[in-house]
Chain A
Amino acid sequence: MSTAENHASRRDVLKAAAALTVAFWLPRGAGATQQGAEGAAGSALEPNAFVRIGADDTVTVLAKHLEMGQGVYTGLATIVAEELDADWKNVRVDGAPADAKRYNNLAFGPMQGTGGSSSISNSYDQLRKAGATARALLVTAAAQRWKVPAADVTVTSGIVEHKPSGKRAQFGELVADAAKLPVPADVKLKDPATFKLIGKDAARVDSRDKSSGTAMFTQDIHLPGMLTAAVIHAPLYGANVKSFDATKAKAIKGVKSVVAFETPVRSGVAVLAADFWTAKKAAELVSVEWDDSAAFKRSSPELFAEYRELAKQPGASARQVGDVAKAFGSAARTIEATYEFPFLAHASMEPLNCVVRVAAQDCEVWNGEQFQTVDQAAIAKLLGLPPASVKLNQLYAGGSFGRRANPHSDYLLEAVAIAKAAGVSEPVKMVWTREVDMRAGFYRPMYVHTLKAGLDQDGKLVAWQHRIVGQSILAGTAFGGPGLDTSSVEGASTLPYDIPNLSVELHTTKLAVPIQWWRSVGSTHTAFSTECFLDEIARATKQDPYAMRRALLSDEHTRHKAVLELVANKSGWTQPRGKDEVWGLALHESFNTVVGQVVQLRRMANGFKLEKVICAVDCGLAVNPNIVAMQMESGIGYGLAAALSGAITLKDGRIEQGNFDDYSVLRMNQMPAIDVHILPSTNKPTGVGEPGTPVIAPALANALAAASGNSIRTLPLAGQGITFV
Chain B
Amino acid sequence: MLTLDINGKKFETDAEPDTPLLWVLRDHLGMTGSKYGCGKALCGACTVHVDGAATRSCVLPVSAAATMKITTIEAVGNSTVGKAVQDAWIAENVPQCGYCQSGQVMSATALLTTNKKPPDADIDAAMSGNICRCATYVRIRSAIKRAASALA
Chain A positions near chain B (C-beta within 8 angstroms): 68-71, 203-204, 206-215, 217, 219-220, 222, 228, 253, 274-278, 347-351, 396-401, 431, 433-434, 626-627, 630, 633-634, 636-638, 640-641, 659-661, 665-669, 671, 673-674
Contacts and interface: CB of A to CB of B under 8 A. Distances in A.
Top 8 A-B residue pairs of the complex, sorted by shortest distance between their CB atoms: A637-B135, A213-B33, A398-B99, A210-B98, A69-B97, A69-B96, A213-B73, A210-B95
Given A211-B105, A277-B20, A660-B131, A671 B137 contact: yes
Contacts of B15: 277
Interface in B93-152: 93-102, 105, 123-125, 127-141
Contacts, number: 178
Interface of B: 15-16, 19-20, 23, 26-28, 30, 32-40, 42-43, 45, 72-74, 77, 86, 89-90, 93-102, 105, 123-125, 127-141
A55 to B, nearest CB: 28
A348 B98 contact: no
Given A660-B43, A669-B124, A277 B131 contact: no
Given A668-B130, A671-B135, A674-B138, A349 B99 contact: yes
Contacts of A275: 23, 27-28
A397 B99 CA distance: 8
Given A219-B35, A350-B35, A630-B139, A206 B98 contact: yes
Nearest to A350: B99
Contact of B38 (A228, A434, A671): A434
B144 to A, nearest CB: 10
Contact of A217 (B40, B86, B90, B99): B99
A211 B95 contact: yes
B99 A399 contact: yes
Contacts of B95: 69, 204, 206-207, 210-211
Contact of B97 (A277, A348, A431, A636): A348
Given A206-B95, A213-B73, A217-B99, A69 B128 contact: no
30 contacts: A209-B98, A210-B101, A212-B77, A212-B86, A212-B105, A213-B32, A213-B73, A213-B74, A213-B105, A217-B35, A219-B35, A219-B99, A220-B26, A222-B30, A222-B32, A277-B23, A348-B99, A349-B43, A349-B134, A398-B97, A399-B99, A399-B134, A626-B93, A633-B135, A633-B136, A637-B132, A660-B40, A661-B42, A665-B133, A667-B137
A630 B94 CA distance: 9
A424 to B, nearest CB: 18
Contact of B100 (A204, A212, A349, A666): A349
Contact of A213 (B90, B102, B133, B140): B102
Contacts of A401: 133
